[in-house]
Amino acid sequence: MTWQQRYESSVMNTFGTPALALARGEGARVWDTDGKAYLDLFGGIAVNALGHAHPALVQAVTSQLQTLGHVSNLFTSEPQVALAERLVGLFGHDARVFFSNSGSEANEAALKLTRLTGRSHVVAAHGAFHGRTMGSLSLTAKEAYRAPFEPLPGDVTWVPYGDSEALTAAVTDATAAVVLEPIQGEAGVLFPSDGYLAEARRITREHGALLWLDEVQTGIGRTGRWFAHQAVADLEPDIVTLAKGLGGGVPIGATIAGRATAELFSPGNHGTTFGGNPVACAAALAVLDTIESDGLLEHVVSLGKRLSDVIASDPAVVAVRGSGLMIGADLAHEVAPQVVQAGRDAGFLLNATGPSTLRFVPPLVLTDGDVDQFAAAWPGILAAADSAGTP
C-alpha cells in the first residue's frame, strides 16, 4: 500500500489526503519520504518558530523528559511557573496565565472567563478564525466551518473587521467581550484600520466589556514584537490568547488575563489534563530564550521586508501586506491553489487562504539565503501556476 492508501484507510477524513508525507526537517527546510527537499514558507501554519530540529528546542525537550515528563495539574513544576512568569513579564501588565494545549483551547478558556462576568453577549469580526472546538467555533466566521455544527453556543454579534462605527453600534452594556485578532491570518493577513484596536479598547471600557485579543497566530515574535498588539501604544487588553509559535512545534496554548479578569476563575471552573505539562513549558521557554538571544525580533522585521519585496516584485502579484514574517499576497488571477502546487513542484511549501490569496508564515529563523533561493524561483512558480490555471 502507498502512504496515501494507508492514510485514507486509517485516519479520519477531516483534512483530505495530505499532499506530502514529511520525514525530517532542519532549519527552514523539510524533506519528504522520497528524499525531496522543500523550503518551508508555511511553518506548520505559523507554528515552527525556530524551524525544524532546532538544537535549543531538542535539548530542552530531551532534558526535561529525562527529568520529569507529566505531573497533572494537581502538582506544578518549575518550567510551568517560570513560563507563566515569563509570559506575564512579556505581556507587561499585572496578569495570570492558564495553560492548555492549543489555540482553540486557549480561546475556550477565554470564552468561559467572559461568561463569569455575568454576561454572555460577545462581539466578533467577519473573517475571524478562533478555532474549531464548539465554543471557539461559535466565534469563527467561516460559514463552511460553522454550518455542519449549528446551532452553536453563545450570543454572538458579527461586525465588519476594522469598522469602528459598527463596533460602537454592536457593543452594549450587556456585552461580555469583544474578541479580535490584531491581524486576521486565516482571512489572508488582513489589517484593521488605523486606531481600530485603540477604539475597541475605548468602546469596551465604556460599556464594562472585556477586550480579548486572539494572538494565537500573531504572538511570540511573528510580527517582530512579542505580541502584535504592542504596536499600539499603551494598549492593555483584558485577555490575550496564544499558541502556535509558543511551543515551536510542541503543543501548548496560553490564556493570559489581567489580574481582575483572571481572578474570575476559581478552582473547579476550568481544567486540562495536559496543559502546563513540564515538557511543553520547557519547549516554550527554549523558544522565548532563543528568540531573545538570537535577536529574532529584529531579524523578523528586516527579513520580512525583504521577503515582502520579493513577493511583490512580480506583476502577477497585485497586493502585498504584512508585518514581520506574517505576509499576505493577492494575485491578479484566482490561481492561488495552482501556485501552491507549482511551489511544491519547485521545492517550496506555500499556503493559499483563498482562490487568489497566499499567506507566508515561515519559521522565524528563515535566512537571507533562503529568501534568495525563493526569489530566484518565484517568477517561474507564478508562470507555471498561471499556465496550469488557464483552461
CB atoms within 10 A of CB 351: 18
Please identify which of the residues 42, 91, 98, 129 carries the catalytic annotation: 129
CB atoms within 10 A of CB 341: 19
Please identify which of the residues 244, 348, 370, 374 carries the catalytic annotation: 244
Q: How far apart are CA 67 and CA 278, in angstroms?
A: 10
Is 244 known to be catalytic? yes
Q: How far apart are CA 310 and CA 378, in angstroms?
A: 8
What lies within 8 Å, CB to CB, of 374 at 6+ separation is 39, 41, 307, 310, 348
- Identify which of 256, 342, 322, 248 has the alpha carbon closest to the alpha carbon of residue 57: 248
Is 40 known to be catalytic? no
Please identify which of the residues 40, 98, 99, 214 carries the catalytic annotation: 214
| 182: preceding bond cis by omega (within 30 degrees) | no
Q: Are strands 175-180 and 121-125 parallel, antiparallel or unpaired?
A: parallel
- Amino acid at the residue 139: L
Is 129 known to be catalytic? yes
The 8-class DSSP code of residue 266 comes to -
Residues belonging to the active site: 129, 214, 244
